[in-house]
Chain A
Amino acid sequence: MSEVPAVLQEYHLRCVRCGQCRSVCPVFKEIRTETVSPRSKVFLAHLLFSGAIKADDEAASLLSHCLLCRACTVECPSAVPVHELVTAARALAAKKSPSQLKKLFYNQIWPSPARLSFSVSLFRHCQGLLEPAVSLNLLPPALSLPGRLPRRPARASLPAHTPASGKAKMRVGYFLGCATNFLFPDTARNTVAVLARLGCEVVLPQDLKCCGLPQLAAGAEKTAAHMAAANLEAFRRLGVKVVVSDCASCTATLKESFPQNGGSGIKVCDLSELLVNLMEVTKLDFKPVNKIVTYHDPCHLANAQSITAAPRNLLRRICTEFREMPGAAECCGGGGAFVLHHYDTGMAILDKKISNLKKTGAETAATLCPNCIMQLRHGLLKHGAGIEVVSVVQLLAASLGITS
């Protein structure tokens, strides 16, 4: 018998296999075979957990067809947490057929900030060489997604402590996620500046690790748990009570992993949640940013944290015009390593998003997830539409007259 918790093993009994999940799964909508439906993942997980089948390459391949967007979990009338079953099944598959390279990457390199930073820097230096190889289809096309990486990650330029401008209303710990750090250092600097301007004393622990989502998604659940414990400790040591991030995936992961590390007493907030719900900044006066803006719901914000109103309220407050996008809550197809394995499917999902984005006539698309920003920008590059994609933070910074 496996080490899978009994509660996860029993979910297949709750699944009546009605197939309603097929109506929301972005991967199913593209591929349209039962083999990629969320319902089939519940069945597959059961077969794996019960030992009825071996975790072979075919099982791993079927399990890889999931963005972990949680649309099915939200839709399921029987409340089956499909995404948890997928990650547990992936963990089982990773144990049974371990790829040494993957193991090294997820368990040894990524959890160490220094090794990760070195690897990213190595990647950045090789980008010039990699690009031709990608265009000749010698390397996975997904490697072109991040574009040219910035020279310096955000961490190099962010202080450990940033005082509030004026009287501090709140003391917050900033969780600087990997994608924001390496891909969008401007966003990180703006997050800190915006928080400070709006009355937060911002603490950035120097020994933060990744949130652990890449590990969970790849089946390295134990490593993910160690990383969560280390991050929790880093914030505790600094006496932080509220942790905030500009990355939906990070906050979703932390919200679920911190409490499991012994009732953390730390409240994790998405940036819009903190600003709108806790600090009520929408009551303040903002200088309007002269832009027609629309909003893309990151799955890890809308599906995982049920946060949809706060970012919109912010955008309505700070931009001259807000336009709702059809299918705003549908996944953009950029779920972490998914595009590495299933680039074409990811791009087909993205194409629908871009088409919806264009329908709005907006000149700016804002969101709160660096992964989504990377994906959407990639799609817009491909489609050549003159729409900019930014974090909500960038617009907030512009409205507050912050230049980073």
Chain B
Amino acid sequence: MVIKKINAGLKEIYPAGRMLTGSLEKRMYSYDSSFYARFHNFIPDAVVLPRSTAEVSATVKLAAEHGIPVVPRGAGSGETCGCLAVRGGIVLDFSSWDTVEEVDTENMQVFARPGVVHYRLNEHLAGFGLFFPPDPGSTRMCTLGGMVANNSSGLRAVKYGTTEQYVLGLEVVLPDGRIIETGGVNCRALKNVSGLNLTKLFVGSEGILGVITRIRLRVWPRPQARGLAMAVFTDLEAAPAAVLDVYQAGILPSGIEILDSSAIHAVNLYNPAINLPDAEAILIFEVNGNPAGVAWEGQKIVGIVEKRASRVEWSTAPERMAELWRGRSVVAVAAARLRPGGSRIFAGEDISVPLNRVTEALRRIKELGRQYAITVVNYGHIGDGNIHTAPVINLDNPEEVARANALVDAIHRLAIELGGSTTGEHGVGAVRNQYAVDEHGTAAEIMRQIKATLDPKNIMNPGKLLPPGEVGTIV
């Protein structure tokens, strides 16, 4: 009944073609890249494709009136069910609202709508000699709206930080349909400390506080040069130690990635031509900036790392760099090759630990893998302690799926025990919210209160981020 009214209301807001009504069409919105979504049927009641703030506001008002959930969605490349209608409701697919509205080169900022794909933005900015530094592995598909909502980062966070450092302001549709601008109305200043920092509140809020409809991003001059160093270690502990050595020498690489022995093995099985050396760990350092600086830092890194590594190779030649990078770029999918019929799952895939506990975390994840009899592959952004663990399981075996879930829980608890977090850059969504109280203590309660204040009816992306059992009307 309510759904009928909602559909009638949506038909007044959206033209045909931007409202999907087929039951199968809606079913295609039941997944993202998460393990969890594979075992659930989170089919939304309605799917619309907004292309204006007015449309979003009208939609949210309609949903508020009837008390049904609103779920913003970008490319659906997330791993947390963040964009899925876990309690039904209206999915707002922003894929088609992808306008870069303005590149303000004089003020080093850009205005974009939420559906802009990350690499498209950087392609566009390159024409102005600029770039938006966060560099997620999903660059080819992920949208800016999703990046802001999840405060995502990626390979270059070690030097450039995460998305939040670049968000100067947001246009947000609140759960009652009001439209606000954070970071100052009509503000184009790069610095602004007036008022409570609502921008930071919305960045990483995973759609539970409102719908982001426009993004003002700070952009940086594009670096002119880049170089890569690949270092091979016969001892796992030497790798994180080498990372600290580099930092202590006063060098901040633009990326530091690790592959452990299981990842190396997986890459070589996946594509023998890549032919990574058999080792306990491989580190890849990326340095960028001006050509002279890159050359100097590269040589410095080689000199430092050589003391602990069995081999170090430095290159600034594009083809060779691409070769050195290939192992890192395929490992996420190569993991599945470690066992016949295995599938790599995205669960427990994003813990973040203090730099001085990385070695311990890597060792203990391996132990957990043995304990639960599940193959695990480790890789990730070691430069900031963000470890991507890839369990490889047989998805058709319910008993193994249950074991994988237990392993994932243990990995998450390990992260908290080590003074880290269950997620470094992928987010909480509906798959890590059970750890909210353990991670945040009383602060989790404050999060609940903020949510209840802004969204008393709990219509905005319910069932995500906050500890289970939110206040407000549960729908």
Contact = CB atoms under 8 A, between A and B. Distances in A.
Given A13-B343, A32-B95, A19 B28 contact: no
Interface of A: 10, 13-14, 16-20, 22-23, 32-35, 37, 40, 43-44, 47, 53, 58-59, 61-62, 77-79
A40 B95 CA distance: 15
B330 interface: yes
B343 A19 contact: no
B49 A33 contact: yes
Contacts of A40: 28
Contact of B20 (A10, A33, A59): A33
Nearest to A23: B140
A13 B76 contact: no
A32 B343 contact: no
Interface in B26-66: 27-29, 31-33, 37, 47, 49
B336 A14 contact: yes
A32 B346 CA distance: 25
Given A14-B343, A32-B96, A43-B28, A19 B49 contact: no
Contacts of B77: 18-20
B333 interface: yes
A18 B336 CA distance: 14
A77 B75 contact: no
Interface of B: 20, 22-25, 27-29, 31-33, 37, 47, 49, 75-77, 93, 95-96, 98, 115, 117, 119, 138, 140-141, 330, 332-333, 336, 341, 343-346, 395-396
A166 B170 CA distance: 74
Given A32-B49, A32-B95, A34-B93, A17 B24 contact: no
A79 B332 CA distance: 13
A306 B49 CA distance: 36
Contact of A35 (B20, B117, B119): B20
A78 B141 contact: no
B29 A23 contact: no
Given A19-B75, A19-B141, A13 B395 contact: yes
B138 to A, nearest CB: 7
B25 A20 contact: no
Most central of A33, A44, A79 by chain B CB within 10 Å: A33
26 contacts: A10-B341, A13-B343, A16-B33, A16-B344, A17-B32, A17-B37, A17-B76, A19-B77, A20-B140, A22-B95, A22-B141, A23-B141, A32-B95, A32-B96, A32-B98, A32-B115, A33-B20, A34-B76, A35-B22, A35-B24, A35-B25, A58-B23, A59-B24, A77-B330, A78-B336, A79-B333
A13 B37 CA distance: 13
Given A43-B28, A77-B330, 20 more contacts: A10-B341, A13-B341, A16-B346, A17-B31, A17-B33, A17-B37, A17-B76, A19-B77, A20-B138, A20-B140, A22-B95, A22-B141, A32-B49, A32-B95, A32-B115, A33-B96, A35-B20, A43-B31, A47-B27, A58-B24
Nearest to A61: B22
Nearest to B138: A18
Counting from the closest, the 9 A-B pairs by CB-CB distance are A32-B96, A23-B140, A19-B77, A77-B333, A40-B28, A19-B141, A32-B95, A35-B28, A35-B25
B20 A19 contact: no
Contacts of A34: 28-29, 76, 93, 95
Contact of A19 (B37, B47, B76): B76
A61 B20 CA distance: 13
Contacts of B32: 17
A60 B84 CA distance: 25
Contacts of B119: 23
Nearest to A78: B333
Contacts of B93: 33-34
Contacts of A17: 31-33, 37, 76
Contacts of B336: 14, 78
Contacts of A47: 27
Contact of B28 (A16, A20, A44): A44
A76 B25 CA distance: 23
Contacts of A44: 24, 28
Nearest to A21: B141
Nearest to B343: A13
Given A13-B396, A16-B346, A17-B31, A58 B25 contact: yes
Contacts of B344: 16
A18 B138 CA distance: 8
Contacts of A33: 20, 25, 28, 47, 49, 93, 95-96
Contacts of B115: 32
Nearest to B329: A77
Contacts of B20: 33, 35
A373 B203 CA distance: 49
Nearest to B77: A19
Contacts of A77: 330, 332-333
Contacts of B98: 32
A29 to B, nearest CB: 10
Contacts of A58: 22-25
Given A34-B95, A44-B24, A19 B33 contact: yes
B325 to A, nearest CB: 14
A62 B25 CA distance: 8
Contact of B33 (A13, A18, A53): A18
A44 B333 CA distance: 22
A13 B395 CA distance: 7
Contacts of A59: 24
Contacts of B23: 58
A14 to B, nearest CB: 7
Contacts of A23: 117, 119, 140-141
Contacts of A43: 28, 31
Nearest to A22: B141
